[in-house]
Amino acid sequence: MFMKKLIAAVTGAALAFMAFSPQAEVLADSAEDQTPSGIYYSEIGTSINNYIAEREAGLASCEVCVFDGDGEIYTGYYGFSNIEDGVLADGETVYEWASTSKILVWVSVMQQVERGNIDLDADIREYLPDGFLTKLQYPDEKITMVNLMCHNAGFQESMYENQEAEPGDVYGSLEEAVRACECYQSFHVGEYTAYSNWSTALAAYIVECVSGTDYVTYVHENIFEPLGMDHTSIDPTQADNAWVAAKRQELMCYERYGDPAYNQDYGVCMYAVQLFPAGAAIGTLEDLSKLGQALVSEDCPLFEDDATRDLMFSATSCFGDTDIAKNCHGLWAQQRKVMTLGHNGNSAGCTTSLEFDPVSGLGIAIMTNESGETAFTNGIPVMLYGAYTDKEGFEGGAANAVDISGTYYCTRSFCMGSGAATQYMAQ
């Protein structure tokens, strides 16, 4: 496919929002590509500019890169990495990936599958030291790597991970962290989807066990270095990248709303992630987009055989008894006008998202210095890919409604132990 490339740097001079004057290059042809929502590629930048301008009151900073397998289509930097000092977000601003870091775990796992070191259908205890899992309620049930990828191995939330850890609270090794933060198995294997940072860290530890390489080194040698991701760290104290460590101290974090009465300023707002494979990556927008581009490129540089990438993009968990994908080997499926894959992440100070259409290869990376941000990290992808209600053949309305009334509790909770009562709060 002949692709157009549009690269823009969008900056501004006042928090009231920047004057949009992106420097842009458009390579047009007579059969210009469109996004699934119908936006011409040459108009993506204008559409994003307008979308963000309409929501300027809720902006601290937002960086956006739209790409496909041929490279960047549009890149824009909006707002301030430090509002108080008037520092504009730019290509050297680093943001926390938070749970978007999990993509690195699942890519690592699939690399080990390709190399014959992991069988997705084998019991994970085959790869762990004897007696490693000590809190299994159903020890006779096999737990596979696919269960870890789909977050349905039955583990409850970890009671032991310190969510406000300082660098001195980081464990000496990934093995030590996984052992110390081990979760109780509250559900039968495959019974429920219960999102789990711990089980993702366990998968990363299995990568360590089968590869013979510590996880930080493994990611650098097998992902960061091959892709030229020189401005990203995965170590929980950023000991693997001094440049990232210094740049992260320059980023201030906020909450911004249409009504400024609700605004919050959090400063650097940085905590160490003890189960670091699940959420410790920090880096630039360019590096995050390199990962996305690699996943959708015609010849994926992350795997020896494109069949491995195709397997990774296939569904491993669906909604109910339908064939509607929920999870694809660790990548979460979003049912928009087209199905997309990816992972978002929220830390105490940042929100990040990497999402792509596995069919067309159109992807988007978004990074913000706002906690729990959704207007940009969710709204811009909807603008790009269209809403589920735009899907061909969609039928809504009362005729298709199903009564699902009842009392529910979140499976990502404490179902065993001293915190068990919390699962019934706010029902």
CB 348, CB 370: distance < 8 Å = no
Q: Is residue 92 part of a domain?
A: yes
pLDDT tens digits, 167-222: 999 999 999 999 999 999 999 999 999 999 999 999 999 999 999 999 999 999 99
pTM score: 0.90
- Residues 6 or more apart whose Cβ sits within 8 Å of residue 232: 224, 241, 244, 281, 282, 283, 284, 287, 288
Q: Is residue 79 part of a domain?
A: yes
* Residue-level pLDDT at 308: 98
CA 129 to chain centre: 29
Mean of the per-residue pLDDT values for the chain?
89
Tokens 């189960």 locate to 275
pLDDT tens digits, 361-392: 999 999 999 999 999 999 999 999 999 888 87
Read off the pLDDT band of 417 (50, 70, 90). low
pLDDT tens digits, 46-87: 999 999 999 999 999 999 999 999 999 999 999 999 999 999
Query: For the chain, how many structural domains are there in total?
Result: 1
| Dist CA 320 CA 394 (whole Å) | 18
pLDDT tens digits, 119-145: 999 999 999 999 999 999 999 999 999
Q: Is residue 32 part of a domain?
A: no
63-to-176, 366, 381 alpha-carbon distances in Å? 36, 6, 13
Q: Is residue 319 part of a domain?
A: yes
Q: Is residue 22 part of a domain?
A: no
Q: How many CB atoms lie within 10 A of CB 108?
A: 25
The CATH code of the domain that includes 328 is 3.40.710.10
Choose between 418 and 117: higher pLDDT. Answer: 117
Q: Is residue 417 part of a domain?
A: no
Q: Is residue 372 part of a domain?
A: yes
For the chain, percent of residues with pLDDT exceeding 90:
80
- Domain containing residue 84: 41-391
* Residue-level pLDDT at 1: 35
Q: Is residue 163 part of a domain?
A: yes
Q: Which two tokens stand for residue 331?
A: 């990548």
pLDDT tens digits, 262-296: 999 999 999 999 999 999 999 999 999 999 999 99
What's the mean pLDDT in 289-315? 97
